[in-house]
A and B are shown apart, each in its own frame.
Chain A
Amino acid sequence: MFDDFFTRALIAGIGLAITVGPLGCFVIWRRMAYFGDTMAHSALLGVALSLLFDLNLMLSVFIVAAAVSLLLLLLQKRGALSTDALLGILSHSALSIGLVMVAFMTWVRIDLVGFLFGDILAVSEADIDLVWGGGILVLAAIVYLWRPLLASTVNPELAEAEGLQPERARLYFMLLMALVIAIAMKIVGILLITSLLIIPAATARRFATSPEIMAVLASVIGALAVTGGLFGSLHFDTPSGPSIVVAAMGLFVLSLLPFGRNGQTETAIHSTHGGHH
């Protein structure tokens, strides 16, 4: 019915969406959207280094993303600048250094647009193995780390006092983020990875009654967005990565409509201002 490349794209995209769902929930619970962006933008530096030193692309992206998050931790401990400013500096510096390095390497020609916006229609069977293999690894780690991650999201000191090692959970969380970014880069691209993390999770919030349900729903909604986006891109001949994000956004807008559980969304938004201190 479909061409092979389309089926491969569908399988890889759904695998990725399922993987990032729970991780995306933690990104919005912990208010780390900009942090995810920073790690993703640093991926281009990873691409440049992989070309320069002839390293495996995913490995190189993973190392750079992990290094950037560790660097952020160190800079935060110094406490001179706000996290926001540090993220802005790291994010765009890493992206720009990557672009500059690529420009210097006149001997290589790379498809920059492919890295920035992804090329899901070009995934190979080996890529599918990576997405699903890596995805299972990431999901298993999240299940294993669920309690310390969730408890330290609510309050790190509470988690520490009651013996859950929030620092370790945070470190593993960053490594998982780096891994997911390395896997996702090819599919949605550096600039759009964060949207795949955040939008399905934000959509799931409306319907979730517990953190666990929200994590599962985020995966399901992400998979729907990938499917819808890919079919849309096939039908309208639009770029696949952005089409997936547009589909995700469409689902999010749907979730804002006032149906079912009356006024739930309104109450939830109002309590942003009336949170507990």
Chain B
Amino acid sequence: MLEFRKPEQKPLVLMNNAGVRRNGRWLVRGVEFSIARGEIVTLIGPNGSGKSTTAKAAIGVLKPDEGWVEKMPGLKVGYVPQKLAIDWTLPLTVERLMTLTGPLRGREVEEALHSTGIAHLARAEVQHLSGGEFQRALLARAIARKPDLLVLDEPVQGVDFSGEIALYDLIKSIRNQTGCGILLISHDLHVVMAETDTVICLNGHVCCRGTPQMVSQSPEYLKLFGSRAARTLAVYSHDHDHTHLPDGRVLHADGSITEHCHPDDGHHHGDHAHDDHDHAHDHVHGPDCGCGYKSRLQGYDDKETRRV
């Protein structure tokens, strides 16, 4: 029980059986996951499956109606919301947008704009940006804060395909450079999944979870997205020169990044760091807590297939 733990393995956010209800209807239920530093967790699922709701509950914008959410004290969040409409009556340049929620040094603003490729737009009014430029500005704003946890709700919407790849590469390099945790919401899983440590597939509840490869082969995932989605994913993984070994580890061709996708860790949920904690709270991961990953790929509730 008193095993050695590295300090960075304390999760930034831990959700335990969390559910949010509005107007008598559960938007999402039974959500369990944690995000540690340096970890990318991706939420996928169809429209209305509770992805944004889950993300908002994770960062405290929504209070869970059941279960609980534990945030690291003093957690600094950088948030890119799914929808953001700025009234044209508000004169807001990209530069001014950067310091919306907190002061920054001029150099920090420049760096963030530069890394998202919109340094030349610093003095442009946000209302005059294209959809893709605006998303970059929002991402720049969120990373300029140097957050512990970056929450990105469909950050590549309105960005063209090559821009999308560039932004995902940027998100990956932000994680590698700053070691922040990233909670990513995507409807566009074949691109994002390869960089992700844990994919959680939502459909009002946790449908399945695991490494990208595991989820893409799970029957629940195939039921939701169809087998074509899985094939696209496989192509992408190949293109990016990394292979999911039979034992679940990720082998990178360049060897520069070593992600830890051990199936023995379960779903990379911080189990290794929180075994005693879990037991102390007697919470339920499903029928398979602490055992192999295979049964994790089973949906928690096979009967429920609403909104597919």
Q: Does B1 contact A (CB under 8 A)?
A: no
List the A residue with the shortest CB-CB distance to B87. Answer: A29
Q: Is A31 an interface residue, CB under 8 A from the partner?
A: yes
Q: Which residue of A lies closest to B86 (CB)?
A: A154
Find the residue from B77, B84, B89 having the highest chain A CB count within 10 A.
B89
Q: Determine the chain B residues whose CB is within 8 A of the CB of A267 once the complex forms.
A: 128
How many A-B pairs have beta carbons closer than 8 Å: the answer is 94
Give the residues in chain B near A276, CB-CB below 8 Å.
Answer: 84-86, 126-127, 129, 131, 134
CB–CB A31/B88 < 8 A: no
Q: How far is the CA of A24 from the CA of B60 in the complex (A)?
A: 31
Chain B stretch 185-218: residues in CB contact (< 8 A) with chain A: none
Instruction: Name the segment of B95-103, B239-247, B263-271 touching the other chain.
Output: B95-103
Q: Chain B residues near A108 (CB, 8 Å)?
A: none
Establish whether residues B60 and A161, one from each chain, have CB atoms under 8 Å apart when the complex forms.
Answer: yes
Q: With A158-B101, A210-B93 in contact, do A268 and B88 touch (Cβ < 8 Å)? A: yes
Q: Which residues of A contact B84 (CB under 8 A)?
A: 154-155, 158, 276
Give the CA-CA distance A44 to B59 in the complex, in Å. Answer: 43
Q: With A154-B92, A276-B134 as known contacts, state yes or no: A159 contacts B87, CB within 8 Å.
A: no
Which A residues, 71 to 113, have Cβ-Cβ distances below 8 Å to chain B? Answer: 79
Given A267-B128, A276-B131: A164 touches B87 (CB 8 Å cut-off): no
Q: Which residues of B contact A211 (CB under 8 A)?
A: 90-92, 96
B89 touches A29 (CB 8 A): yes
Q: Write the A152-180 contact mask toward B (1 if CB under 8 angstroms, else 0).
A: 01110111111110000000000000000
B89 pairs with A161, CB closer than 8 A: no
A160: which of B61, B88, B97, B126 is its contact (CB, 8 Å)?
A: B61
With A214-B91, A268-B127 known as contacts, the answer to whether A162 contacts B79 (CB < 8 A) is yes
Q: Which residues of A contact B87 (CB under 8 A)?
A: 28-31, 275
Interfacial residues of chain B within 65-83, with CB under 8 A of chain A in the complex: 76-79, 81, 83
Residues from chain A with Cβ under 8 Å of B86 in the complex: 154, 275-276
A150 at the interface (CB under 8 A from B): yes
A208 at the interface (CB under 8 A from B): yes
Across-interface contacts of A271 in B (CB, < 8 A)? 88, 127-128
Q: Is residue A202 within 8 Å, beta carbon to beta carbon, of the partner chain? A: yes
Question: In the assembled complex, which residues on chain B have CB atoms less than 8 Å from the CB atom of A29?
Answer: 87, 89-90
The B contact surface, by secondary structure, is loop
| B79 proximity list for chain A (CB < 8 A) | 157-158, 161-162
Q: Which residue of B lies closest to A271 (CB)?
A: B127
**CB–CB B56/A154 < 8 A:** no
Q: Which of B93, B96, B101 contacts A164 (CB 8 A)?
A: B101
Closest Cβ of chain A to B71, distance in Å, is: 11
> Which of A79, A153, A210, A272 is within 8 Å of B88, CB to CB?
A272
Prevailing SS type, chain A contact patch:
helix
- Closest residue of chain B to A270 (Cβ to Cβ) is B88
Nearest-neighbor residue (CB-CB) of A157 within chain B:
B61
Near A by CB (< 8 A), chain B positions 89-140 give 89-93, 96-97, 100-102, 126-129, 131, 134
Q: Is A209 an interface residue (CB 8 A)?
A: yes
Q: Which of A30, A31, A79, A160 has the most CB of B within 10 A?
A: A160
- Per the bound structure, the CA–CA distance linking A154 and B78 in Å amounts to 15
Of B84, B91, B97, most A-chain CB atoms within 10 Å: B91
Q: Is A147's CB under 8 angstroms from B101's CB?
A: yes
- Interface membership of B29, Cβ < 8 A: no
Check B61–A269 contact: CB distance below 8 A.
no
User: A213 on the interface (CB 8 Å rule)?
Assistant: yes
> Would you list the 8 A-B pairs with minimal beta carbon distance, nearest first?
A161-B79, A162-B101, A271-B127, A208-B91, A29-B90, A161-B59, A160-B61, A151-B101
Q: Write the residues of chain A forming the contact surface with B, with a CB cutoff of 8 angstroms.
A: 28-31, 79, 147, 150-151, 153-155, 157-164, 201-202, 205, 208-211, 213-214, 267-269, 271-272, 275-277
Between A and B, 6 residue pairs with Cβ closer than 8 Å are: A161-B79, A161-B151, A162-B76, A211-B90, A211-B91, A276-B134
Interface residues of B (CB under 8 A from A): 23, 56, 59-61, 76-79, 81, 83-93, 96-97, 100-102, 126-129, 131, 134, 145, 151
Given contact pairs A29-B87, A154-B90, A276-B129, a sample of 18 additional A-B residue pairs in the complex whose CB atoms are under 8 Å apart = A29-B89, A31-B87, A157-B56, A157-B79, A158-B79, A158-B100, A163-B77, A201-B89, A211-B90, A268-B88, A271-B88, A275-B85, A275-B87, A275-B88, A275-B127, A276-B84, A276-B86, A276-B126
